[in-house]
């Protein structure tokens, strides 16, 4: 048996896996408008989860790095839901500075970020639990800005 035949094409597969989250985001941008304007409410058990990095400047800085590349195109650099991709979306990307979202628990925002709805794709496989909490920690800093 020729040993070169048993070599698995690992690098090709890894590249494919890394590309899927980008494809998912692009597909969501191109998707037609979703008719999901009903209130979006996290399950009580998820909403009650505590953010282990709440208020940490270091966590917010890590979250910011992901936010600026992945989230800002839709949610805007200052979190007002006015990124360049927002114009084509209905419902619009959330404006984090609204009273309603400021009043939501970290657990609720974490659950929505993880599960997604419509154009807001689920991010639970793209980012680790730690990274998702860091993103929520960063979003909280945007709410403080006027
Ligand atoms: C393709 C555009 C798009 C991208 C990219 C995107 N979002 Fe969203 N996001 C949306 C839309 C649209 C909604 C509103 C969905 C709805 O209400 O059905 C939303 C809603 C949310 C909500 C729920 C707000 C609430 O309380 O109702 C959170 C939290 C959120 N996004 C976080 C993020 C984070 C963090 C990222 C980056 C990792 C991100 N989003 C990337 C479009 C996007």
* pTM greater than 0.85: no
Question: Where in the chain are the domains?
Answer: 44-144
Q: How confident is the model at residue 38 (pLDDT cuts 50, 70, 90)?
A: confident
Q: Give φ, ψ of 101 to 5 degrees.
A: -80, -35
Residue nearest to atom 28 of ligand 1 (CA): 113
Q: How confident is the model at residue 146 (pLDDT cuts 50, 70, 90)?
A: very low
Residue nearest to atom 21 of ligand 1 (CA): 94
Q: Is the pLDDT of residue 22 over 50?
A: yes
Q: Which 3-state string (H, E, C) describes the chain?
A: CCHHHHCCCHHHHHHHHHHHHHHHHHHHHHCCCCCCCCCCCCCHHHHCCCCCCCCCHHHHHHHHHHHHHHHHHHHCCCCCCCCCCHHHCCCCCCCCCCHHHHCCCHHHHHHHHHHCECCECCCCCCCCHHHHHHHHHHHHHHHHCC
Residue nearest to atom 5 of ligand 1 (CA): 71
Second-level CATH architecture of 44-144: Orthogonal Bundle (1.10)
What tokens were used for 59?
């966590």
CA trace torsion 132, 134, 136, 142 (10° rounding)? -140
* CA 96 to ligand 1 centroid distance, Å: 9
Q: Which residues contact 134 (CB under 8 A, 6 or more apart)?
A: 53, 59, 60, 62, 63, 66
Residue nearest to atom 40 of ligand 1 (CA): 71
Q: Which residues line ligand 1 (CB under 6 A)?
A: 25, 28-29, 36, 40, 66, 70-71, 73-75, 85, 89, 91, 93-94, 101, 104, 109, 112-113, 117-120, 123, 135
99-137, pLDDT tens digit by residue? Answer: 999 999 999 999 999 999 999 999 999 999 999 999 999
């Amino acid at each position: 048996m020729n040993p070169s035949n048993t070599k698995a094409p690992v690098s090709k597969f890894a590249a494919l896996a890394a590309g899927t989250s980008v494809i998912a985001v692009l597909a969501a941008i191109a998707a037609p408008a979703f008719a999901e304007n009903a209130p979006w409410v996290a399950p009580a058990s998820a909403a009650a989860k505590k953010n282990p990095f709440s208020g940490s400047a270091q966590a917010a800085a890590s979250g910011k790095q992901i936010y600026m590349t992945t989230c800002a195109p839709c949610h805007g650099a200052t979190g007002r839901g006015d990124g360049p991709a927002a114009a084509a979306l209905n419902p619009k990307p959330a404006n984090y500075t609204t009273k309603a979202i400021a009043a939501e628990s970290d657990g609720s925002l974490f659950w929505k970020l993880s599960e997604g709805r419509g154009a807001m794709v689920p991010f639970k496989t793209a980012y680790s639990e730690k990274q998702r909490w860091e993103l929520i920690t960063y979003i909280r800093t945007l709410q403080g800005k006027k």
